[in-house]
Amino acid sequence: MLYGAVVAGSFRRYATYRVATAAGVVTNTAFGFVIAYTYLALWSQRPHLGGYDRAQALTFVWAGQALFALIAYGGLDELQDRIRSGDVAVDLYRPADLQLWWLATELGRAGLQLIGRGVVPMAVGALAFPLSLPGSPLTWGWFLLSVTLGVVVSFALRYLVALASFWLLDSSGLAMVSTLACMFFSGLVLPLRVFPGALADLAQLLPWAALLQVPADVLMGARTGGALLRGLAFQAAWAAALLALGRLVQSAATRKVVVQGG
């Protein structure tokens, strides 16, 4: 009940930023066209690059733009600020677990972003280009489950970065490095299957692959049957491992809370 209320409250909170949401839709749609035409040029030279045909490559582009705000490649800025200012001490006094509270907040935010900034770019992309979208409702259901797991993995990674603020005077540098790693190894720049040789194999084993590469493959039908179940298990395993690691770091960090500057 408590965390469900936090999810709903977070959804309503982010729903108030209508102008920012509209601006984000325009931005994601514009970047979608730029990247789509770049991919068309690339796939015209290599028609089956990474094992994708042209329609699948374009689907990957628009999936990336639809999920960009949902996945949140940045950090947990609000939590980092609260740790730096010492306001996190108030959070620790709440009758709620710190990690679950922020996870619920992120799920509410992600739900709003899926509707607010996810549907329109994908719809525009489907109207402008021949995309490889599923016709089965079951496949859409698997896609939404994969996206949800990706959001949890994204949160768990960013939560660890935010917790570093307990020890660092300024964790913005670490957050920037984390953002760049996330964008590169999630497949936002290029699908991980396009990477050369061992780098492609390694990248698809890292947790960032759970953010975009796996959900996009599920959406376009590149993962079915056993491959689909392995992809979902991969995401669930990283989510569980990173959340467990976050709980250990949280336990170590909150044994002694020191307010910077006082």
Determine contact, residues 256/170, Cβ cutoff 8 Å.
no
Arithmetic mean of pLDDT over the chain: 89
In a domain, 113, yes or no: yes
HEC readout, 189-252? CCCHHHCCHHHHHHHCCCHHHHCCHHHHHHHHCCCCHHHHHHHHHHHHHHHHHHHHHHHHHHHH
pLDDT digits (tens, 9 = 90+) for 176-198: 888 899 989 999 989 999 999 89
CB 43 within 8 A of CB 54: yes
Q: How confident is the model at residue 56 (pLDDT cuts 50, 70, 90)?
A: very high
Residue 215 lies in a domain: yes
- 137-163 helix and 77-85 helix, angle to the nearest 10 degrees: 20
Confirm whether 260 is domain-assigned.
Answer: no
| Structural domain includes residue 258 | no
Residue 259 lies in a domain: no
Q: Which domain holds residue 153?
A: 2-253
User: Reduced to 3 DSSP states, what percent helix, strand and coil does the chain have, rounded to the nearest 5?
Assistant: 80, 0, 20
Output the six-digit token pair for 262: 């006082």
Task: Specify if 262 maps to a domain.
Answer: no
Cα–Cα distance measured from residue 102 to residue 83, given in angstroms and rounded to the nearest whole number: 13
Which residue type sits at 192? L
From residue 18, alpha-carbon distances to 6, 22, 24, 188 in Å are 20, 6, 10, 25
pTM (whole model) above 0.75: yes
Q: What are phi and psi of 249, to 5 degrees?
A: -65, -40
Q: How many domains does the chain have?
A: 1
Instruction: Please report where in the chains the tokens 């920012």 appear, as a residue.
Output: 20
Q: Are 239 and 149 in contact (CB under 8 A)?
A: yes
Domain membership of residue 152 (yes or no) is yes
- Tens of pLDDT, residue by residue over 144-172, are 999 999 999 999 999 999 998 888 877 77
The answer to the question of residue 183 being in a domain is yes
Determine the residue type at 236.
A
Q: Which residue has the higher pLDDT, 170 or 83?
A: 83
pLDDT score for 262: 45
Nearest residue to 123 via CA among 114, 147, 53: 114
